[in-house]
Amino acid sequence: MRLLALVSLTAALSAGVLSCSGTATTCGPANCDGCCEAGRCQLGTANASCGRGGAACVACSGTTPVCSSNTCTAGSTGGGSGTAGSGGTAGGGNSTAGGNNTAGGNNTAGGNTAGGNTAGGMGTAGGSAMTCGGNPCVSGCCSLNSFCQPFASQSATSCGTNGNACAACPAGNSCVQGVCTPPTNAGTLGSPCTSAAQCNNLPASPAGQPAFCKTLQAPPPGYSPYAYRDGYCTRRCHSDAHCGTNGTCIFGLGAIGELENICMQKCTSNADCRTPGYQCINFGSSANPDLACWIQTADGGIPELADAGTPGGPNSTVHDPCTNDTQCTLPQGSFCIPPTLQDGGVSGTPGGECSADCSVGGTTWCGAGSTCVLYLFNGGALGPTVGGLCLGACQPGPTITCRAGFFCNPSGNFCEPRCDSPGNSCTPPQTCNTNTGACQ
């Protein structure tokens, strides 16, 4: 289980513990077969992010709301304006029943003639056209606009090989080297999916969290999330016991855009992970490895670092007393845990305390004299979420650096309100040790 403080991940990134760079290279035609968005190469097959050839991604809308083979189209219709002998057969539109570039679609009989792209589209079904738009396309499929889409940028929604027309795979299949491939372990941890119903073979969790199909990162504000290619069967967790023998519980990845605590498929090498789209990453250390199959970006790296905002630095206000948010200035986004509740009762935090969400930034970001402590928060039907709070740092011993009314929790060396502070109590069967201030 990935239990390290968030700062450990940032250190691992800078030290190269994860085997890839944390920042994507500049996106463009030279290194992106899909489209570019915010400097990153996307597949270019989503309605909200469509394109090809390293051009800027566009959102499909209006009369062309559907991204098909990396191009915004009108989508599937019962008929169109094309007539026999023109670009589409009678009753055929841009994407008629049967799929793109199939009988009734573009480049069918009556369009490009025999000797060029044959009846049935750009490469007949099961055929071996080998070319696309006059260019070799052995290791790819031919998109609607005669663009050879290589294996690396294909997905379950646009798959093919030997220059044949790109086509969508059946539900639950993934695209492997241009071939629609049924999952060998359907419904298990890490397998492809489009809905939670397909994730029906995960081992039961003793905590009862349901399985679900994860398709996008749970990102920090302002972060453009990466996709879990063809879906990823998983569940929320805060212990390896929730993931079964083939899984590991990973959390604290806010620094690279994933705020959700989820089970991931264990691995020993990239060969254990689905390709394309996933790689075996060590979320632990060289001494204590914790390897799991996770996102591989289009450039072969990992998702880029998120911006946590202005760090606390030497002027951090974490653990300072407060009564309102305006008194808590650093790190960025700091807030006040007030000494009183809205009804006037005591909150259990004597004198109030400045804090901040460190789920992205980690301990170093919290600033001088503070540390990032992970907590479980109510996450609704899918189970608890793991998040971090900046709190005062301390060292147990005769000289305690915590404010009056707080004690130094030795389990994480952070300042915590004493159990005998007004408004606090211990959950039975624990009782309050008034000497140490801790529940025991």
Inform me whether the pLDDT recorded for 83 exceeds 60: no
Q: How far apart are CA 111 and CA 108, in angstroms?
A: 5
Confidence of residue 31 (pLDDT cuts 50, 70, 90): low
pLDDT for 393 equals: 96
Is the bond into 338 cis (omega within 30 degrees of 0)?
Answer: no
Nearest CA to 228 out of 201, 255, 264 is that of: 264
pLDDT for 190 equals: 96
pLDDT for 26 equals: 61
Q: 229 phi and psi, to 5 degrees? A: -55, 125
Q: How far apart are CA 231 and CA 183, in angstroms?
A: 12
For 32-56, what is the mean pLDDT? Answer: 77
pLDDT in tens, 211-220: 999 999 999 9
Q: How far apart are CA 114 and CA 150, in angstroms?
A: 25
Mean pLDDT estimate for the chain? 82
Inform me whether the pLDDT recorded for 76 exceeds 60: no
Task: Report helix, strand or coil for 424.
Answer: coil
pLDDT for 1 equals: 58
Tokens 């905590």 belong to which residue?
207
pLDDT in tens, 293-335: 999 999 999 999 999 999 999 999 999 999 999 999 999 999 9
Task: Report helix, strand or coil for 61.
Answer: strand
pLDDT for 428 equals: 95
Confidence of residue 129 (pLDDT cuts 50, 70, 90): low
Residue 5 in contact with residue 250, Cβ under 8 Å?
Answer: no
pLDDT for 159 equals: 92
Q: How far apart are CA 218 and CA 251, in angstroms?
A: 12
Tokens 């490009």 belong to which residue?
112
Q: Sort 306 into a burial class: Cβ within 10 Å, 0-12 / 13-18 / 19+.
A: buried
Tokens 């960025």 belong to which residue?
332
Inform me whether the pLDDT recorded for 432 exceeds 50: yes
Pairing relation of β-strands 406-409 and 385-392?
A: unpaired
Torsion of CA 63, 41, 365, 331, to 10 degrees: -30
Residue type at 252? G
pLDDT in tens, 249-303: 999 999 999 999 999 999 999 999 998 999 999 999 999 999 999 999 999 999 9
pLDDT for 73 equals: 85
Residue 14, both tokens: 């800078």
Q: Would you tell me how many other CB atoms lie within 10 Å of the CB of residue 98?
A: 17
In the chain, the largest separation of any two C-alpha atoms, in whole Å, equals: 92
Residue 402 in contact with residue 394, Cβ under 8 Å?
Answer: yes
Q: What is the b/e burial string over 112-141, where b = at least 16 CB atoms within 10 angstroms of the residue's CB? A: beeeebbbbbbbbeeeebebbeeeebeebb
Mean pLDDT lowest among 14-23, 70-79, 183-192, 262-271: 14-23
Q: Tell me the helices (H) and strands (E) count for the chain, helix number first.
A: 2, 27
Q: How far apart are CA 412 and CA 295, in angstroms?
A: 30
pLDDT for 64 equals: 87
Residue 95 in contact with residue 68, Cβ under 8 Å?
Answer: yes
Tokens 């691995």 belong to which residue?
267
Q: How far apart are CA 217 and CA 255, in angstroms?
A: 12
Say how far residue 153 (Cα) sits from the centre of its chain. 18
Residues 6 or more apart whose CB falls under 8 angstroms from that of 138 comprise 130, 161, 162, 163
Say how far residue 411 (Cα) sits from the centre of its chain. 30
Q: Would you tell me how many other CB atoms lie within 10 Å of the CB of residue 265?
A: 26
Residue 33, both tokens: 């077969």
